[in-house]
Structure 1
Amino acid sequence: MISDRSQGLLVESALVGAVLTLCGITVLVIPQSALRTSIVLLTLLLLPGYALTTFVFPALAPPGNDGLLDSKSYSPALSGYERIALSFGLSVAMLPLFAVSLILILGEIQAVSGFFSVATFVAVFFSGGLVRRWSLPSRELYTLPTALNLRGVRNVSTTSSVEIAVNIALVVMILVAMTSFAYAITTPSEESRYTEMALLTQGEDGSLVSGDYPRNLSRDEQAELAFRVTNHEQASVTYTVVVQLQRVQRKPDTSSAEATEVFEIVPLDRYQKTVANNESWTVQHSVQPKLIGDRLRLTYLLYKGEPPERPTVENSYRYTSLWVSVE
């Protein structure tokens, strides 16, 4: 027959293993989403610190003992509430250490490598905590309070109203902190959602570079250019790029600064594609000028979805341009 102490440790080990397994499946199978981020984040905010506390503080502080040492055996001990708070605090403190370690070892942070590093840390220290707890007398042994083992739960009737209020406040603060942190991570700010757009040319080695743009064009010849759109909008986006050749004139406005006035617009090309988050869309194309003159503006207007009936620089989401002369 399995003893109560063995039952408690087995149940706790199964729960920790189940949480790690769920987190691993989430990282490997579920695509980037709020659900995936929430599961991974809650795991990161609890398990590393909890595994460390079971190793450093293997004993359960008896009721009425507020010290970190059991007065009879001098075993490092924590109450249930103290363990929850310390687990959360240690986990938050260790997250930057995990990130720095991954950058130093792998050069980048990836979800899979990050999960395996955290899982390894949890497995090592939780196993060490099991060994340390197994050597303790049953009266000092800490196990996760469950239906099979409630030894770690204090009798509420023997707890003062002030202590109950403090404990409730502590739990509420931890829940609020976890919820706020989860919301901040799973809900990207507007500043973190953006799209990059670049105008490129083909270099001597065949690669696309930003520079050496053709400035003098001929109406009878084609110029080879390319544009690249990179999506960082945290979701798939359908982009439309409108290519125009514009005849403009710069004149002072009422604020004495120079303003650009467009006198003539000639549409050249239009492209559209749905781009996944963190993916790029590159198009190489030929430009055939249809206007003649100096300081013509070759303009690339970027829109989310369909462009308006009259695309302009002012109503575009992003734009890039190149000043050219056409003979």
Structure 2
Amino acid sequence: MAGREHWRLYFPEPVRTLPADLAAVLAVVALQLLSTLIPGLSDTPLRVVFGLPFVLFIPGYAFIAALFPEAGASPENDENTEDADAAADSVTERGIDGIERVALSFGTSIAIVPLLGLVLNFTPWGIRLVPILVTVSGFTVVAVAVAAARRKQLPEDERLVVPYRQWLETAAAELFEPDSRTDAALNVLLVASVLLATASVGYAVAVPKTGESFSELYLLTDGEDGELVADNYPEELVRGEPASLVVGVGNQEHQPEQYSVVVLLQRVEVANNSTTVLEEDRLRTFTPRLEHNETWHRPHRIEPTMTGERLRLTYLLYKEAPPSSPSVETAYREVHLWVTVRDG
């Protein structure tokens, strides 16, 4: 045994004596940080695999371990007590058993993580990925340190010890040494079910369902407080005098896209639910390239060259290059404003 565990001597004494369950908690925290912050791993399913226990179980388990460092005994030990007071004292002394510890770990994790997020909301860092990771990890590490210190103060026979070796030996005996053919068949069915469930979850994580694909095109103006708003659009312009607008494009196509935005000022005639373009000027052309989930805003000035009432200021969005004669019918997206342009 000493030959197999001599590697422990290379670590400091607090690390060597850290209980296995608390060491596993720190390992999950470290793996989650690596799988989230390292660029090559952040896009893999490992981020989700370690992220779920990191949020839903690990903080609560460390907190419960700090509150209850003693080993839990089975309630059967309390059956031989002489009276009700002695039974109550026995329940108090035995702490909590494994099932209670697991249930409380899930419950307290669901309560702790939102509270940490609420605290972050009132800090300059806000609720973002890195602050959440640092806060939850820091809370878990502190809880593990407290749990290890409190557990070390107890006598050895009262400390919580997770019997993982006993569980592994029992599981191996049940799987590979069944008592009957029926048990063997049930073991095979159980293993197949676990493998199928694991494969299904892994496929769902690795190949997530692609949502709806679309692109956005919109116009904004500068508000009184300096923020961009979808309001206060110009209605009257003067020929030769520029007017300011902001055009926006959003990419939700689940892939990079090369866009073209064509700006036209058109004189149109509307009759019988049909619109005919009588005259048009091509004012501007933009060619933004956007990654998925990226938004592009471009402030620009419009200088009308024709005059008239109820002219249509049209913005056309194309994927790739626009045609030689861009129109509303050929555009992927279209927005427009009705304006009156007067001679200066």
- TM (norm. structure 2) is 0.64
**Who is 1:17 aligned against?**
26
Separation (CA, whole Å) in 2 of partners of 1:317 and 1:207: 28
- Given the alignment, which residue of 80, 93, 108 partners 1:74? 93
Shift, 1:321, TM fit = 2.0
Deviations 1:208-231 (A, max 9, x none): 765554433455555443323355
- Against the structure 1 CA distance between its residues 275 and 52, is the aligned structure 2 distance closer, same or farther, given a 3 Å change threshold? same
Separation (CA, whole Å) in 2 of partners of 1:298 and 1:251: 19
- Residue 121, structure 1, aligned to residue 139, structure 2: yes
- Against the structure 1 CA distance between its residues 20 and 316, is the aligned structure 2 distance closer, same or farther, given a 3 Å change threshold? farther
- Given the alignment, which residue of 49, 58, 69 partners 1:47? 58
> Which structure 2 segments of 5+ residues have no match?
6-14, 79-87, 175-182, 184-189
The question of whether the paired residues in 2 share the 8 Å contact of 1:241 and 1:271 is answered with yes
- Given the alignment, which residue of 287, 302, 309 partners 1:294? 309
Deviations 1:39-73 (A, max 9, x none): 43442222112112212333343457499x99487
Separation (CA, whole Å) in 1 of partners of 2:233 and 2:270: 22
> Which structure 1 segments of 5+ residues have no match?
162-167, 253-258
- Given the alignment, which residue of 245, 252, 258 partners 2:265? 245
Q: Identity percentage over the alignment?
A: 34
> What letter matches 1:88 in structure 2?
F
SS in 2 for 1:261: strand
- Given the alignment, which residue of 99, 109, 123 partners 2:117? 99
**Who is 2:84 aligned against?**
none
**Who is 2:275 aligned against?**
261
Equivalent residues, number? 303
Q: How does 1:75-224 map to 2 (within 5 A)?
A: 75-79=94-98, 81-106=99-124, 108-146=126-164, 150=165, 190=211, 197-201=217-221, 213-218=233-238, 222-224=242-244
The question of whether the paired residues in 1 share the 8 Å contact of 2:69 and 2:150 is answered with yes
Deviations 1:180-206 (A, max 9, x none): 9x96xx959848x87664434568999
> What letter matches 1:21 in structure 2?
A
Separation (CA, whole Å) in 1 of partners of 2:281 and 2:327: 12
- Given the alignment, which residue of 267, 270, 283 partners 2:298? 283
More helix, by proportion: 2
- Against the structure 1 CA distance between its residues 92 and 189, is the aligned structure 2 distance closer, same or farther, given a 3 Å change threshold? farther
Tell me which structure has the larger Cα radius of gyration: 2
The question of whether the paired residues in 2 share the 8 Å contact of 1:239 and 1:303 is answered with yes
The question of whether the paired residues in 2 share the 8 Å contact of 1:24 and 1:115 is answered with yes
- Against the structure 1 CA distance between its residues 202 and 76, is the aligned structure 2 distance closer, same or farther, given a 3 Å change threshold? closer
**Who is 1:273 aligned against?**
288
- Residue 61, structure 1, aligned to residue 75, structure 2: no
**Who is 2:179 aligned against?**
none
Separation (CA, whole Å) in 2 of partners of 1:24 and 1:50: 18
Bigger drift between 98-107 and 197-206 goes to 197-206
Shift, 1:112, TM fit = 1.1
- Against the structure 1 CA distance between its residues 293 and 311, is the aligned structure 2 distance closer, same or farther, given a 3 Å change threshold? same
Deviations 1:102-142 (A, max 9, x none): 11233721111111110121112222222232234434432
Separation (CA, whole Å) in 1 of partners of 2:89 and 2:44: 43
- Against the structure 1 CA distance between its residues 12 and 301, is the aligned structure 2 distance closer, same or farther, given a 3 Å change threshold? same
For the aligned residues, what is the CA RMSD?
4.8
